[in-house]
Amino acid sequence: SVSILTTAKYFVPMLLGQLSTQHPGIEVSLFVGNRKAILDRLTHNKDDLYILGQPPENLGIISIPFAPNPLVAIAHPQHPLAGKKKISPKRLAEEPFIAREPGSGTRLSCDVFFKRHHVMPQVRMELGSNEAIKQTVAGRLGISIVAKITAEAEISRGTLVILDVKGLPLLRQWHLVYPEHKVLAPAAQA
């Protein structure tokens, strides 16, 4: 069994499909949840493997980075900042900001980004899903910072654009995580 962040649902099912094709005998169950739910499952050792964007630092775990997970600023194509070059984080923070809920890995990274640049975003809304954030940004209610993979379809359709902000994209990694004392079954090793 594998537990993944909601953000990882954009690519992990394809990886599991490839695994099933290569190893037809492997049965995979998948739990999709927010960071809090995944960390709870990890703490209680409920699954074989966990996929996180930001592994916890205080748990005894093995963490293997395996894929890039850049975070980008997104806006409606008609937003005044769309098409501008090298937007400062200070200027970005002046716009109404649509944030992920406190405790999400994306939110933690955004908070670090804004603190590093000594600015506070004007949080207009806090939402618990990438889908809600994308719809809100497409509805011209503000801008956001999201994992690029979550917005690729909307970007290719032209309903959202990536803003060129100094210091972005935030270069993060996807991590395969499991408790350090766990002996992985052959299916999990595959």
Question: What is the phi/psi pair of residue 145, to 5°?
Answer: -120, 125
Q: Answer whether 50's CB lies under 8 Å from 139's CB.
A: no
Question: Which pLDDT value is given to residue 87?
Answer: 98
Q: How far apart are CA 43 and CA 88, in angstroms?
A: 39
Question: Which pLDDT value is given to residue 186?
Answer: 84
Question: Which pLDDT value is given to residue 7?
Answer: 82
Question: Which pLDDT value is given to residue 47?
Answer: 95
- Alpha-helical (H) ranges within the chain are 12-22, 35-43, 89-92, 105-116, 130-138, 148-157, 186-189
Q: How far apart are CA 155 and CA 161, in angstroms?
A: 6
Question: Which pLDDT value is given to residue 161?
Answer: 98
* Residue 123 β-bridge partners: 97
Question: Which pLDDT value is given to residue 118?
Answer: 97
Question: Which pLDDT value is given to residue 68?
Answer: 93
Block means of pLDDT (10 residues each) for the chain, 190 residues, are 87 86 86 91 94 85 93 98 97 97 89 96 94 97 96 96 97 93 86
Question: Which pLDDT value is given to residue 10?
Answer: 83
Question: Which pLDDT value is given to residue 154?
Answer: 97
